[in-house]
Structure 1
Amino acid sequence: MHFTKLAAGIVILATATQSQAVTILTTFVPEGNSFPANGVASAPGTITGGGSLTSVFEAAADYWENAIGDDFTVSLSYGWQILGGGTLGVHNLLTEGGAPHRELSGMIRIDSTVATQWFADPTPTTHTEYTNYNEFTQNLGGGVMNTGRVFTGATGDASGRFDLLSVALHEIGHSLGLSSANNAFVAGNGDLDVDVTSPRLFPGSSIPTVSGAHLNLANALMFPSVSSGRRNLLSDADIIANMEISKFTQLGPVPEPLSMTVLGFGVLALLRRRKVS
């Protein structure tokens, strides 16, 4: 993975050593096999692009592993299932423990409804299918932080389809703290925000939340809905919110977009919005 520099305005108070990192152990649940809870895995969804759920999900796990440097392991089962109701993905916490409460195991189901059209990027660490890139910032009380890293202007197979990488990143993000079943999140969310404390970056910030353990920031990865033709990467707000909830302290290199080839400003494929859980 290419995570070589930090976003502007970030000052590292503590960085992880090469041997430290959050570890996300992943297990794919094939068609016909049972999830740890909530039924049986279905056949793959409607995929275009040349990638697969397994390759994209592993890449998404790598993004999060590189973002948080604390020594901690979470185990996730994942696979396809017909979800319906406009839902692209669902995360369920299975076990948690420790102090603070951190998720130890969970499961993620990705919608395989035929009508849900997926773009599975064969090269999920590059973003050449998108012609526009924007970063968003906001002062949430502790200084100006990045609140969104967003690609739009999708071309080719990515056009008009939901980005599988974005949804995998979102659902894995729930397993690291932002989960309505996580006792640490529930205990601190009475005022509908995540209050950032030292030694994490931007202490004094209040990162707003909304139903279902999501961030109430329209361009954040952990916002509750996503458009087709759009790619959301981890923002500082997404990372820091999870670090605060789970009391992680070691920030890894922040993911930066790689060598995007600008193909021209096309029509944005942002006509449909779907929700992620």
Structure 2
Amino acid sequence: MKMLPMLAILLIFSAPDQASALTINRIFLGGTPPGNSVGGGSLQTVFDAACMAWENAIHDNYTVTLNYGWSDLSSSAAHWLNSQGGTPNREISGTILFENNWNDPSVFRWFIDPTPTQNEEWATFSTYHQDFGGGPMISGRVLSGAAGDVLTALDLYSAAVQMIGHALGLSVSNRTFGAEVADGNVGIPAGFPFAGSGIPFQANNYGYTGHPNVNYTAMWYSAIGERTLLSDVDILCAATISNFSNFVLPSSQEGQ
């Protein structure tokens, strides 16, 4: 683990074409926010910021429509793939819902950040590196050291980033993902940074899930009182599954 100043040094894989970029159409379905949430922000503001994080990372010219809102779920958040297709196969539309009725609201509550792009609530930024066969890449970027109510709540922004990642390819309903992860790994292809890496994925009784088996990735890790940002692992796995070729990785120069 490296403890660094709160600064991300970006490694550009392919110079972004300013005329094309990933576009996430957002359709707010409504719903009632949970009464025990803290922070005072809105789901719309947080979801917009999470979409922008992925849009800033992926610059391929592609549009996906995501419906989102509050609902009474059996988990903190959930993603459903509504339609997929095209060449390459990608999710076309999906639905993402967030829990608004915690079973034990005294223990679980959301931090709904009114300024989700600023990260001012956290004092420490930590990066983690792992080598999966193609060189050491950033496997995690975590903000910690919060105080007050933030320390006792689950970050809605982190959950939104993870759910959007499912919509960008890391979904058990995505046909390409199912084929790629059949051996337990997402293999980073030739021509990509860290080519030859095999990113392991978690499994349950039903098969492999859309979560890398790599601690501190945005697509796996979400802890009370912390915020998880996109890592090389998250972006490379989504790019591999959805065949995105124009993207930016948050790699520092060290170890590259």
Say yes or no: TM over 0.5: yes
1:93 aligned residue: 81
Measured against aligned partners, the alpha-carbon deviations of 1:207-230 in whole angstroms (never above 9, x if no partner) come to 11113211101110111x521101
Partner of 1:226: 222
How much does 1:251 deviate?
1.0
Partner SS state of residue 123, structure 2: strand
- Once residues 217 and 253 of structure 1 are traced to their aligned partners in structure 2, the CA distance between those partners, rounded to angstroms, is 17
- AA partner of residue 47 (structure 1): S
Answer whether contact 2:142 2:228 (CA < 8 A) is retained: yes
Residue 33 of structure 2 corresponds to residue 44 of structure 1: yes
Percent of counterpart pairs with the same letter?
Answer: 40
Contact 1:119/1:161 (8 A) holds in 2: yes
Paired residues, number? 236
Matches within 5 A, 1:1-277: 6-7=9-10, 10=11, 12-31=12-31, 43-45=32-34, 46-84=36-74, 87-114=75-102, 115=105, 116-211=108-203, 212-223=209-220, 225-252=221-248, 254=250
Instruction: Give me the whole-angstrom Cα distance separating, in 2, the residues matched to 1:153 and 1:5.
Output: 18
Alpha carbons of 1:255 and 1:82: their partners in 2 closer, same or farther (altered >3 Å)?
farther
> How far 1:99 sits from its partner (Å)?
2.2
Q: Secondary structure of 1:181's match? A: coil
The change in CA–CA distance for 1:202 and 1:253 in structure 2 (over 3 A counts) is: closer
Amino acid at match of 1:222: M
| Inter-CA distance 13–255: structure 2 relative to 1 (3 Å threshold) | closer
Contact 1:131 1:155 in 2 (8 A): no
RMSD: 1.7
Q: TM-score, normalised by structure 1?
A: 0.81
1:245 offset after TM fit, Å? Answer: 0.5
> How far apart, CA to CA, are the structure 2 residues paired with 1:127 and 1:66?
17
Report if aligned partners of 1:16, 1:250 keep a CA contact under 8 Å in 2: yes
- Which stretches in structure 1 are left out of the alignment for 5+ residues? 32-42, 257-277
CA drift at 1:130: 1.2
- For residues 211 and 28 of structure 2, the distance between their equivalents in structure 1, rounded to whole angstroms, comes to 25
State the 4+ residue runs in structure 1 displaced beyond 3 angstroms.
Answer: 4-7, 252-256
Give CA-to-partner distance per residue, 1:113-157, whole Å, 9 cap, x none.
Answer: 142311111111111211221000011111110000001122133
Q: Contact (CA 8 Å) 1:208, 1:215: kept in 2 or not?
A: yes
Show CA shifts across 1:60-98 (max 9, x none). Answer: 0000000001000100000011113xx211001000001
**AA in 1 matched with 2:216:** N
